[in-house]
Amino acid sequence: MTSKTQLRIKMALYAVILIVAELLQTSVFGSMSLGLVPSVMPVAVSCISICEGAERGSIFGLAGGCLWAWSTRLTFYGAWCILLLTATGILAGLITDRYLLQGIKTALSISAGALLLTDGVYTIYGIFSGTIPPYVFFTVFLPEALIALVLCLVIYPITAHISRIGGFHG
């Protein structure tokens, strides 16, 4: 197989990861009667960016943000998701390339930051604007973030295995 074909296969598998993350987020957890819908997309974008770097991470962040925004109502939150998942892809790739080792601890810490950046800041904004009651941060956001971080333990090994197709990026 040529390197161009291997790169296409790798990118297609990452796209499948994003689609599965969105399906988990909207269809599986969205239809359950738990009342908690963890944000799996920031975790998936973080894991891909850790393995592929800032440039490809930003592309998958943009793709994941668009997928996330288009699967919900197109509101301010959708634009927020597009912007911040692109930034998450860039930051996760840059931080990992420059300062951190690739591994599950790095994936958990960067995913926690991505969840705080995407959903946490939006929740805090809603609390301070008066549209969301303050207890939602502890009763909804934190349990959803913990569930998403547990899913990071599944997503990161898959993305790390995919990143080995055609050689390592770094």
Condensed to tens digits (0 to 9), the pLDDT of residues 39-60 reads: 899 999 999 999 998 899 999 9
Who has greater pLDDT, 46 or 25?
A: 46
The domain 3-162: what is its CATH number? 1.10.1760
Condensed to tens digits (0 to 9), the pLDDT of residues 72-116 reads: 766 777 788 889 899 999 999 999 988 888 889 999 999 999 999
Per-residue pLDDT at 147: 92
Is there a contact between 29 and 21 (Cβ–Cβ < 8 Å)? Answer: no
Per-residue pLDDT at 170: 47
What angle is formed at CA 100 by the lines to CA 99 and CA 106, rounded to 5 degrees? 145
The residues, any chain, with a CB within 8 Å of residue 21's CB and separated by 6 or more, are 40, 41, 43, 44, 64, 155
The residues, any chain, with a CB within 8 Å of residue 71's CB and separated by 6 or more, are 22, 26
Condensed to tens digits (0 to 9), the pLDDT of residues 130-145 reads: 888 999 889 989 999 9
**Nearest to residue 114, comparing CAs of 52, 64, 164?**
64
